[in-house]
Amino acid sequence: VIAILPVAGLPEIREGDDLGALVAAATALEDGDVVVVAQKVVSKAEGRVVALADVDASQHARELAGSDRDPRELEVILRETASVVRERAPLVIAETSHGFVCASAGVDHSNAPHEATLVLLPLDPDESARRLRASIREHSNADVAVIVSDSFGRPFRQGTTDVAIGVAGLVPLRDLRGTLDRGGRELRTTQVAFADEVAAAADLVRDDKADGIPVVVVRGLTPTGDGTARELVMPRDRDLFR
Amino acid sequence: VIAILPVAGLPEIREGDDLGALVAAATALEDGDVVVVAQKVVSKAEGRVVALADVDASQHARELAGSDRDPRELEVILRETASVVRERAPLVIAETSHGFVCASAGVDHSNAPHEATLVLLPLDPDESARRLRASIREHSNADVAVIVSDSFGRPFRQGTTDVAIGVAGLVPLRDLRGTLDRGGRELRTTQVAFADEVAAAADLVRDDKADGIPVVVVRGLTPTGDGTARELVMPRDRDLFR
């Protein structure tokens, strides 16, 4: 049996906060728990926040913004973009420096739109997960794994699902028996995106208030091994969609 | 709290089996449970199975098969294909008649490769889910929702995640507050692919033996409303990837 447990009572996260210590203080963790932390609070703790007032929009950003969107927002998105995968103003699907392909290069509005700030992805979400894990273990004595999650859209399907953009203390891909060739030999190993499924499961306890529950514990998986969320990025030479 | 509960003790499923009755007999269900059933057993109960010995391969199927794969298998895949989205022999990414975009048009090997049969997607997985729901409710007296799930790959990311290809008794997409425009008005509503996240969560209790656990109960969501998995298919005019 696997249980998905929301963590209540976290304060509003600010730059410099020790998020791991706050999580450990907010809930009783057990060995083998997977702590799923929403990217937005990780980024806020790391100061990955930009004030729109400090941004000058380029010509490209103005074109992409069209009449609906703030060109400075598109400017920030373009700065976070390694390459534009698709654009249809005011939508930009971008590959980030990490290799993730997602809307707006992962740039989000802050919860408080009147502050006019944007939240960027962590510079290295796997490193963020490792730091969080170390801090949680220090403050709770529980041997946990950590996933930093974000909501990504997908080609071909409506709606976002939460995926893992950083992991620590678990192997993100799980090998299954694959397709067999005519002689019964394995032709291709099927891999399950285990960390993405855990991130999606964690999202189920969130109500419809955005960021109401930034931290969720998934209990009962007791993962072993280690890896990075970069392993979840499809290598370009195997990607049929780029 | 949400619990993910594997259903043990189901017999091997054969054509004509009343899968809903078997599920109701195998586990104690409660009102509000979501019963997630793997597509493969649904298809087997519905007789959506093809013996390779009955298939003649076309020239196109032979080309796609290359030297590694059985051309008759590619023939069956092409028959299940409404349009080929990508091909790189022996891989075919296809849009099915239902509008799903997935590898091999959803055609799977049977568990027993020496029987040389292939399992196709249900003709109407939403109808399959509705029938299953009616049968489960009849045999258990529990008011459950049903998801028929399958493992799909995704562009840009490694590994499969389980998604919903049929639903009954729940609304598959959940609306969240969306992007705000300059005046604080909602520019675009964000939707969460709730049913896909439930399917992914259910997959977490499966071990690495394929189809070891075809039925999983997700308890604690108590969904309301109704809808179809077709709503999860991105309409062509909004799809930036086709």
Three-class DSSP category at B78: helix
pLDDT band at residue A204 under the 50/70/90 scheme: very high
Q: Which residues of B touch A4 (CB under 8 A)?
A: 1-4, 201, 220
Half-sphere exposure of A18 (CA within 13 A, CB side): 12
Residue contact A193–B113, C-beta within 8 A: no
- How deeply is A224 buried, as exposed, middle or buried, from its count of CB atoms within 10 A (0-12, 13-18, 19+)? exposed
Please give the mean pLDDT across all residues of chain A: 91
Q: Which residues of B touch A209 (CB under 8 A)?
A: 177
- Could you count the other beta carbons within 10 Å of the beta carbon of residue B26? 14
> Which residues 18-77 on chain A approach chain B with CB closer than 8 angstroms?
68-70
pLDDT at B111: 60
pLDDT of B51-81, one tens digit each?
A: 999 999 999 999 988 888 899 999 999 999 9
Measuring CA to CA, which residue among B115, B128, B1 is closest to residue B54?
B115
pLDDT of A87-123, one tens digit each?
A: 887 789 999 999 999 999 999 877 655 578 999 999 9
Residue contact B198–A204, C-beta within 8 A: yes
pLDDT of A19-36, one tens digit each?
A: 999 999 999 999 999 999
Q: Which residues of B touch A90 (CB under 8 A)?
A: 187
Q: Touching check for B180 and chain A: CB below 8 Å?
A: yes
- Complex ipTM, two decimals? 0.94
Three-class DSSP category at A6: strand
Residue percentage of chain B with pLDDT more than 90: 78
Q: Which helix (H) or strand (E) holds B79?
A: helix B71-79
Q: Which residues of B touch A172 (CB under 8 A)?
A: 159
Three-class DSSP category at A78: helix
Torsion sign, CA atoms B124, B128, B131, B137:
negative
- This prediction has a pTM of 0.95
Of A2, A93, A154, the CB nearest to B154: A154
pLDDT of B188-223, one tens digit each?
A: 668 999 999 999 999 999 865 545 799 999 999 999
Q: Longest C-alpha distance within chain A, in Å?
A: 64
pLDDT at A112: 57
Q: Touching check for B147 and chain A: CB below 8 Å?
A: no
Half-sphere exposure of A210 (CA within 13 A, CB side): 20
